[in-house]
A and B are shown apart, each in its own frame.
Chain A
Amino acid sequence: MLNSRKSVRQAQVAICFLCILCLFEATLVAQDRDLVQRFEQVATLIRDNRFAEAEKELTPVLRVSPDLPVALNLLGTIRAKQGRLNEAEVLFLRAVRNDKSFAGARMNLVYLYLLKRTPGKSILQLKEVLALKPENTEAAEKLAELLLSQGRFDECIAFIEKQKLARSVPVSLLVVLGDAYLAKKTLPQAEENYLLALEGRLENAGALLGLAQISRLKNETREASIYLNRVASLAADSKSPEFLHKFALEALRVGMSEEAKSVLERALELRPKEPSYLLALGIAWLRKGDLFEAEKLFRQLIEIQPGNAQGQLHLGYVLLNQKKYSEARMWLEKSARPGVAIPEVFYYLGLVAQEQNDDARAIVLFEKAVQKLPSYAHARIALGSSYMKLKNYTRARQELEMAVKLDPDEPTAHYNLALLYARLKDPARAQEQMRIIEKLKAKGASTGGVVVLPPGSSPR
C-alpha cells in the first residue's frame, strides 16, 4: 500500500519529465526540422504548465497527421497533467499502437497506470519496454521495485538474477534483490546482495537497512543497532520521506525510539500530515513512555483520517493507559471492525470493563481475546483477575497458571497468582510468587504496565 502510494507520487513527477524525453524520440520520427522545434516548444510549455498554449501548438500538427505518435504522446501528457487520465491513456495507447517501439509512450503508460492504481498494467508495459530495450535501467529498476511492492517476490528475484547474468546491474537493483530475498526470509542471499550493493563501503542506506533487518531477524540486536546507527547518519540528509519512514519502523523494532522519533519528525516535515508517519511517530512517543505526545499524534491522525482503525486503536490504548476509560472505550469500539477485530481490542475493552467494575462483561471480552489468540498471556492474566474478583478462584487459578506457563517472565501474572494464593490462605505460595517477581525485577524484567502495546507497536 505504502509502496504503491509512493509509486503514484513518482508517477506524477515522471509524466512531466517523460514529455521531454519524448522529444529525443521525436527527432527519430520527425522529418521536418520545424516540427522538431515545435515539439520542443510544446514540451517547454507543458513543463511550465501552460497546457492551453501547448495544445494550441499541437492542434495543427494533429490535424495534418492525426496518428503521429510523438504528437499523440505529447497530447496524452497534457491530458495526464490535466488529470484527464482516461483520455491520456487512449492517446498513449494510440501512440504505441502506431509505433510499437515508442518506449517513451510506454513509460508514460507505466506511470499513468500507477496513477490509476493499476500496477499490474504498469508491469506489463515495463516488460514491453525492456523487451525493446533490455539495457533501459530506469525501466529495469521500476519493474523490480513494482514486482517487490506487489509481493511478486519470486518474479522479482528471477528478473534481477537474469539481469545480473546479462549485464552489470546498478546498486539499486541489488538492494531490491536483497529486499526480495529478505521478504522471502532467504537471509543468506539477501545478505549477499546487500553486501554486494555496499561494495565494501558503508554508504548505501537501503542496503544497510536491509542488513539491519537481517541482524534483527537473527536476534543480533547489537549488530542491527550498529547498522541502523550508520543508516541514521546517512539518512540525516535524506529527502525521501518513504525511506525515513522505512528506517523509523526498523529503528522502532530494535528499540531505537529516539532515532525513530527524529527521522519521523523529518519525514513529517517533508510530507506533512501523512497518516502512516503520524501513526509511527505516535508509536515512537509511546515507546518513549510519553503518552501525552502520543495522544496528540493519534488525535491528529484521526482528524485527518477519521476511520483509521490503527489510529483509533492506538488512541484508545493511550487513553486506557491514562485511565480515561470512557473515551478509551469509545475509540476502541470504533477500531473494532466487524469480523476483523484483533485480540488486543477485546483485551483492552475488557480492561475498561474491569475498571468500570463490570467483571462479567470483562470476562466475555477477555474470553474473546483468548479464543482468537490462545497464547495471549496478558488476556489470561486479566481473565484470572476478573474471575478472582468474582470469587471464582478455581477459574482464576487455571487462567493465571496458564498465563505463567505462557509468559514466565511476566511479573503481573505472578502478582495476581500471589494475590490469589493469599486470598486462598496459602501465604507460603503467595510469598513464593512475590519472590519470583523480585527475581524478575533484579533481572530487569519490565514491570511497565499491565496494558501491553498494540500489535506492531512493541519491540519484538
Chain B
Amino acid sequence: MVLSLMRKLTIFFLAAILTQKLSAPTQRTAVTFEEVSPATSKISWTHDNAHSPDRQLPETVGAGCAFFDYDNDGWMDIYFVNSGPSDFFVPPKPLKNALYRNNRNGTFTDVTDKAGVAGGKFGMGVAAADYDGDGNVDLYVTNYGTNILYRNNGDGTFTDVTEKAGVAAPGWSTCATWFDYDNDGKLDLFVSSFVFYDKSQNPLCTDETLKRRYYCVPRLFKPQPSRLFRNRGDGTFQDVSRESGIAEHPGKSFGAVATDVNNDGLMDLFVANDTMPNFLFLNKGAGKFEEIGLSAGVAYGETGRPRSGMGVDAADFDGDGWQDLFVANIDHEFFSLYRNEKELIFTDQPGEIAPSTQLLSGWGLKFFDYDNDGDPDLFLVNGHPDDMIESRIPRVKYREPLLMFENTGRTLKDVSANSGTVFSKMFSGRGMAIGDFDNDGDLDVLTSNNGEPPLLLRNQGGNRNNWIGLHLVATKSNSAAVGAVITWQSGTVKRTRLKTGGGSYLSSHDPREILGVGAATTIDSVEIRWPSGKVDKLTKLPLNKYVRVVEGAGAITN
C-alpha cells in the first residue's frame, strides 16, 4: 500500500519535472519599465531640435542615441546626438552631442569634451562598432551635412578620422548600420540617405485655415541613393554604392537593418523609406545586392501605395527559423509586421499591433526579450513629425505613447498598460536603443525625444527569469559578430537568434546578447555559428552571468 503510494508520488513528481523541462514555464509577474530621472542618472543633456517658424524638415526627425562601452569597463555608456550649425540654422548657443560615462552605480558623468565627440554639426544618428578591430568601440555619427567617424583611441578619447576613412557621405544621412556584407571579417558600413535638401529646398507648406507653416511631407523632395562603404581593413573605406547595386535605388531612407532573410549566410539589408517603396536588398554574394522589395511584398501597402516607413527591425519573432521584418509608418497607415513565408516572400500581418498603432507614428523600435523568456518582444517609440498635427487631425497627437508588445508565441500582445506608468505618458519619441546599463541581466531602454530631454528606462523584473549574457569576441569574423547565429537549449526548449546589425531609428544598441531561459534553472548548451563559419558549442555555462565568448576559444567567465 505504502509502496504503491510512493510509486504514484514518484510518477507524479517525475511528470511535474518533465512538464517543467518541456515548457520551461516563465514568471508571470509583469515586467515593468521605470523612468530613471535626470536627478538620479545625472543625465542633464537635452535635445535641441532647432525648432523654427520656417519648419525646416531636419528639425523634426532627430535624433538618435546609443548604448556602447567606450572605455571597455563592461558597463554601457551612453551617447546622444544633437542638432548643430547648418545652412538653415545658427545655434544661439553652442550645441553638442553628449557622451555619458557609466559610473556603475546608476549615475552617469558627461565626458563629451574630454572624449572629443561633441559633433558640432546638425546631427541625426549614431552607430557604434569597432570598425578597425582594435578592441575599442568607435562611433559613426550621421548628420544633415557631412558625417563623422570617431575612432576610439582606447584612452577615453576619440579622433575624427572621417576624411582619412572616406566616409563623410555629404548630404542628409539618417541611420547608419555596421555589418559585414562580404563576409571578409571586417565591418562595412551602410549609410541611409534621406531626401535631397538644403535651405533653398524648403517649399512653403501651409494650412489654409491656420495660416502657419508646417513641416512639408517628404513626398515633395527628391530621393537620394544610400551609400555602402566597404571596409578595406586599413582604416579606410571604399564607396561601393554603385558596384554593389545600392546606388541604383534612390530612396528616402530613415531606417535600415542588416539581417539574413533567406538564411544563406549573407547579410541582406531591409531599408525603410518615407513616402517611397521600402527596399529589400538581397545579398547575392560577390559584392552585389538585388532589390526585391516588390516581389517580396515589403515595398508597398496593400493598395500599391508606398507608406511612410521610419523605424525598422528584424527578428524571428515566431520562432520558425526565418527572419521577420517590422516597419513603423505614420498615423493611419498601420505599422507592418512582415512574416517571412520563406522563398523571399513576406506577408504583412501586424495582428494586435495594428489597432494599437492606428493613430501613431513610429520611429525607434526594437525586438528584444524584455522578460527573458527566450522569445523576442517588441518595444515601440512614437511621436508625430508635425508639431501642429492636432489642429488638423485632433485625434492624432504630436506627443505619443510608448508601446510594449509581449511575444505570446505566434502573436505580439499589447501589454503597455501593465508595463509601467511611463506607458501612460506622451513623448515626441524618435531614437531608441536597448542595453543593460545596470548589468542586472535584463535589457533597459534609452529613448531620445525631439526637442526634449531623453528618457532612460530601467527594466524591472526582466531578470526574474534566468538568463546568460554573451559578450561575443570575434577573431576571424567581423568584430560586432553581426550575422552570428546563436542557438541555446534548456531542457527541451531550443531557441535560435540571429545577431542583426542596426535596427530601430538612428540608434545603436548594447552589442551583448542576453539569452533568456525562463524559469529553467540550467542552460544545457549554447552554440554560436560565427559569420566566418566557425561553430563554438559551449556547455556547463553559468546562469545569470555575463560571459565572454571568444571565437574559436569558447567561453571565458568575466
A residues touching B (Cβ–Cβ < 8 Å)? 290, 292, 322-324, 355, 357, 389, 411-412, 414-416, 418-419, 422-423, 430, 434, 437, 441, 447-450
Contacts and interface: CB of A to CB of B under 8 A. Distances in A.
Nearest to B354: A323
B304 A322 contact: no
Given A418-B294, A419-B297, A422-B295, A323 B304 contact: no
Contacts of B300: 415
Contact of A324 (B295, B347, B355, B395): B355
A447 B350 contact: no
A418 B304 contact: yes
A411 B294 CA distance: 15
A364 B201 CA distance: 52
A411 B395 CA distance: 28
B375 to A, nearest CB: 19
A410 to B, nearest CB: 9
Would you call the interface of chain B mostly helix, strand, loop, or mixed?
loop
Nearest to A422: B295
Interface in B297-311: 297, 300, 302-305
B350 A323 contact: yes
Given A322-B355, A323-B334, A437 B304 contact: yes
13 contacts: A292-B395, A323-B350, A323-B354, A323-B355, A323-B358, A357-B347, A357-B349, A389-B347, A412-B303, A419-B295, A434-B304, A447-B303, A447-B304
A434 B294 contact: yes
A412 B334 CA distance: 17
Contact of B304 (A290, A389, A411): A411
B216 interface: no
B294 A419 contact: yes
B295 A423 contact: yes
Contact of A423 (B302, B345, B349, B350): B345
Contacts of A416: 304
B305 A411 contact: yes
Contact of B295 (A292, A414, A430, A450): A430
Contacts of B294: 418-419, 422, 430, 434
B209 to A, nearest CB: 14
A355 B292 CA distance: 23
The 4 closest A-B pairs by CB, nearest first: A415-B304, A422-B295, A323-B354, A447-B303
A412 B355 contact: no
Nearest to A420: B295
B350 A450 contact: no
Contact of B303 (A323, A355, A450): A450
B304 A412 contact: yes
B41 to A, nearest CB: 38
B358 A449 contact: no
A418 B350 CA distance: 23
A323 B334 CA distance: 9
Interface in B159-194: none
Nearest to A451: B302
Nearest to B334: A323
Interface in B231-283: none
A322 B349 contact: no
A30 B416 CA distance: 82
A412 B303 CA distance: 4
A323 B355 CA distance: 6
A322 B303 CA distance: 16
A8 B249 CA distance: 68
A322 B345 contact: no
Contacts of B354: 322-323
Contacts of B347: 357, 389
B335 to A, nearest CB: 10
A133 B350 CA distance: 71
Nearest to B332: A289
A412 B347 CA distance: 16
Interface centre among B292, B302, B303, B355 (most CB of A within 10 A): B303
B65 to A, nearest CB: 31
Nearest to A290: B395
A414 B305 CA distance: 11
A59 B445 CA distance: 88
A376 to B, nearest CB: 17
A346 to B, nearest CB: 19
Given A323-B354, A418-B304, 11 more contacts: A323-B350, A323-B358, A357-B347, A411-B304, A414-B304, A415-B303, A418-B294, A422-B294, A422-B295, A423-B295, A449-B302
Contacts of A419: 294-295, 297
A449 B303 contact: yes
B303 A411 contact: yes
Nearest to B292: A422
Nearest to A356: B349
B512 to A, nearest CB: 34
Contacts of A324: 355
B303 to A, nearest CB: 4
Contacts of B292: 422
Interface string B483-524: 000000000000000000000000000000000000000000
Contacts of B395: 290, 292
Contacts of A323: 334, 350, 354-355, 358
A64 to B, nearest CB: 72
B301 to A, nearest CB: 8
Nearest to A424: B295
Interface in B380-397: 395
Nearest to B294: A422
Interface in B341-367: 341, 345, 347, 349-350, 354-355, 358
Nearest to B410: A357
A157 B297 CA distance: 59
A25 B300 CA distance: 77
B165 to A, nearest CB: 36
Contacts of B295: 419, 422-423, 430
A441 B300 CA distance: 14
A269 B292 CA distance: 56
Nearest to B300: A415
A429 to B, nearest CB: 12
Contacts of A450: 302-303
A419 B358 CA distance: 25
Contacts of A411: 303-305
Contacts of A423: 295, 345
Contacts of A355: 349
Nearest to A445: B303
Nearest to B357: A323
A448 B333 CA distance: 10
A448 B349 CA distance: 19
Contacts of A422: 292, 294-295
A357 B339 CA distance: 10
A399 B282 CA distance: 30
A416 B297 CA distance: 10
